[in-house]
Chain A
Amino acid sequence: MNWITNFVRPKIKAFMGKTDIPENLWHKCPSCEQMLFAKDLEENLHICRHCGHHKRLSGKQRLETLLDKGSVSRFSLPKVPLDPLKFKDSKKYIDRLKDAKQKTGGEDALIIAEGKINELPVIVAIFDFDFMGGSMGPAVGEGFIFAARLAKQRKTPFICVSSSGGARMQEGILSLMQMARTTAAICELKEENIPYIVLLADPTTGGVSASLAMLGDIAISEPRAEICFTGARVIQETIRGTLPEGFQRAEYLLDHGMIDLIVSRHELKNEISKILRILFHK
């Protein structure tokens, strides 16, 4: 107790105003456990400077990092019936949906937009893993179809960034049907020779990998991204054995001939625009 604590500090505080200290100033890299300054991490496209770990991006972050600044214009998702199954587990599905909307500020687990990648116009459909694990239900399916059809109409390349736990259980069979519906839209693109490029981002699993994500003309992934049909935990429980090193990582899929290339996030835009230029004889 002295004049500094009683008098000077409050004065200084009053003079400086309320200090807003952001909560997530520092991030711990999940791979090498080094502490990373948030702003630094963001500037480096959410890649760890120490070990090169590619941090999972939210849909919004992906949109910002993939498309040229100032080129983006978003579309809202087409309307679909709300909670057609009236699904309820420990919590009502409509409440889970509300929470997810609030948390992410998104409409559902997909962002659709038009924009440019190194000056080349593209239509994108980007999964948002933060929205209920990027799960695909009717809203995502409908959004994907809308975007694909727009690409077809405008003869613009269609880019999908998948990041999803699979089909959304809470919309039951209607979610399963999205596998067929989105595939039908891809068939239309193929028939018109509209390039369909998929970036299989971490993680791409289940019904999403077994439909739209594995049907790209070009399949790209990022280092160490998880890509699979059945999750490792389920396989482990079924076989009760050990899984191979690096199982279901992007490198494993590349080795097994399931994807075309693994690209660092720094090179992603250049790689995609290079491919598009060649496909279009530019």
Chain B
Amino acid sequence: MTILLDFEEPIKALETKILELKTLDSGSNMNITSEITKLEAKCQAQLVSIYSNLTPWQKVQIARHPERPQFLDYIKELVTDFTPLSGDRVFGEDPAIIGGLGVFRGIPCMIMGHQKGTDMESRKHHSFGMAKPEGYRKAVRLMDLADRFSLPIITLVDTAGAYPGIEAEERGQAEAIARSIQKCLEVSVPFISVIIGEGGSGGAIALAVANKVFMLENSVYSVISPEGCASILWKSRNNAKEAATALKLSAQDLFDLKIIDAIIKEPLGGAHRSKISTISFVGDEIEKNLRTLMKQNGETLLKTRREKFYQMGSL
């Protein structure tokens, strides 16, 4: 059973009942079978009603769902011959950002993204997807490599933000992020970014200054976390819900503000309920756009990428 979020409570009773009946039923009892079918339909209807009216804060919760597909799930489904490349050649290796060479649906490319981890041990290993300077410097190195060998770049963004700690500051977190943004704006290859979960501030945009930027339906992308915003402007983290609404961080908001190019639909009940189809939807959107971008020359790609960002939010 999937981990339920607080607003999904109404389906909890139904799901438990279905499970109960399923263990009772050996398949021969028609009454039970029809009861299960009924309950499942009810459950489905309930999901539809919950998921068609999500508040921004609920989307934040879905975007952070521990069972939401992560970078490595996408690699497994979409990329063959994945060859992870490690290290920034300056200080170290940061597993919060994974990147490497691979073949995406027949297209050789450079693909990278944040990995949050799936259990306590791996979360610690990937430092919850919060990258340190060496992570961004590795990204710069890989983007450079991609540029030299004319490989398209795909980034999958899923981070609460850059790592907030002494060692990160000591090694120049601000500079590392700035250089990563700069590198995004200097490469002459097709560049596609997808916000697959959380797009947390500078730590996210460092990998997302691309020709095309997409968001999964229930992902969020924001200048600051709702909690951070609430604690500064409302003086209390308890106002995160209000902050989430005020920040306009949903995919629909960003599409309306012309920040992203398209929204990628999630299956009913969110990406965490149907990982494989979510991943293939993302793959389809990337492939379609990548094949179009690959027809353009490097100069055009670079120019239009910059122009796209210059256009944002201006009159």
Q: Which of A79, A141, A172, A177 has the most CB of B within 10 A?
A: A172
Question: Is B173's beta carbon under 8 Å from chain A?
Answer: yes
Contacts of B248 in A (CB 8 A): 85, 172-173
Contact call B202/A174, Cβ cutoff below 8 A: no
A81 at the interface (CB under 8 A from B): yes
By a CB distance below 8 angstroms, the chain B residues around A186 are 182
Cross-chain contact A183 with B181 (CB below 8 angstroms): yes
Chain A interface size range: 35 or more
Q: Which residues of A163-222 are within 8 A (CB) of B?
A: 167-169, 171-177, 179-181, 183-184, 186-187, 206-207, 209-215
Question: Beyond A89-B233, A169-B223, A206-B202, is A187–B306 a contact (Cβ under 8 Å)?
Answer: yes
Q: Are B257 and A179 in contact (CB under 8 A)?
A: no
Q: Contact partner of A174 among B165, B184, B259, CB < 8 A?
A: B259
Contact (Cβ within 8 A) A84 B313: yes
CB nearest neighbor in A for B186: A187
Let me know if A169 and B202 touch, CB within 8 A: no
Is the beta-carbon distance between B168 and A230 smaller than 8 angstroms? yes
Given contacts A80-B314, A187-B185, contact A180 B165 (CB under 8 A): no
Chain A residues with CB below 8 A from B186, complex form: 187
Across the two chains, which residue of chain B brings its CB closest to A231? Answer: B164
Tell whether A142 is near chain B: CB-to-CB under 8 Å: yes
Residues of A contacting B164 in the complex (Cβ-Cβ under 8 angstroms): 229-230, 234-235, 238
Q: In the complex the two chains form, what is the Cα distance from A186 to B182 in whole Å?
A: 8
Using known A-B contacts A172-B249, A173-B248, A211-B181, determine if residue A238 contacts B165 with beta carbons closer than 8 Å.
yes
Instruction: Give the B interface residue count (CB, 8 A).
Output: 51
Taking CB atoms, residues of chain A closer than 8 Å to B202 are 176, 179, 206-207, 210-211, 229
B242 closest partner in A (C-beta)? A89
Which A residues lie within 8 Å of B223 (CB)? 167-169, 171-173, 175-176, 207
**Contact call B181/A88, Cβ cutoff below 8 A:** no
Q: Does A112 contact B (CB under 8 A)?
A: no
CB neighbours of A207 from chain B (8 A): 201-202, 223
Residue of A at shortest CB range from B200? A176
Query: CB distance B175 to A258 under 8 Å?
Result: yes
Determine whether B166 belongs to the interface, using a CB cutoff of 8 Å to chain A: yes
Shortest Cβ gap from A120 to chain B (Å): 26
Measured CB to CB, the closest approach of chain B to A97, in angstroms, equals: 14
Check if B166 sits within 8 Å of A235, measured CB to CB.
yes
Let me know if B146 is at the binding interface, CB within 8 A: no
The answer to the question of A138 belonging to the interface, with a C-beta cut-off of 8 Å to chain B, is yes
B10 at the interface (CB under 8 A from A): no
Residues of B within 8 A of A173 (CB): 221-223, 247-249, 253-254, 257, 259
B313 surroundings in chain A (CB, below 8 A): 80-81, 84, 138, 141, 171, 174, 177
- B235 nearest CB neighbor, chain A only: A90
Looking at the assembled complex, report how far the CB atom of A114 sits from the nearest CB atom of chain B, in whole angstroms.
Answer: 22
Which residues of chain B in 164-184 are interfacial with respect to chain A, using CB atoms and an 8 Å cutoff? 164-166, 168-175, 177-179, 181-182, 184
Q: Which residues of B contact A234 (CB under 8 A)?
A: 164, 228
- Is B224 among interface residues, defined by CB-CB distance under 8 A? yes
Complex CA–CA separation, A181 to B247 (angstroms) = 20
Residues of B within 8 A of A (CB): 162, 164-166, 168-175, 177-179, 181-182, 184-186, 201-202, 205-206, 209, 221-224, 228-229, 232-234, 242-243, 246-249, 253-254, 257, 259, 306, 309-310, 312-315
Listed by A's residue number, 25 A-B pairs whose Cβ atoms lie within 8 Å are A81-B315, A84-B257, A87-B246, A89-B234, A89-B243, A138-B313, A167-B224, A169-B247, A172-B222, A173-B247, A176-B222, A183-B178, A184-B185, A187-B185, A207-B201, A210-B177, A211-B181, A214-B172, A214-B179, A215-B179, A228-B169, A229-B173, A229-B177, A230-B169, A235-B165
Given A174-B312, A177-B313, A207-B201, 9 extra CB contacts under 8 A: A85-B246, A169-B229, A171-B313, A174-B257, A179-B178, A179-B181, A180-B185, A235-B165, A243-B166
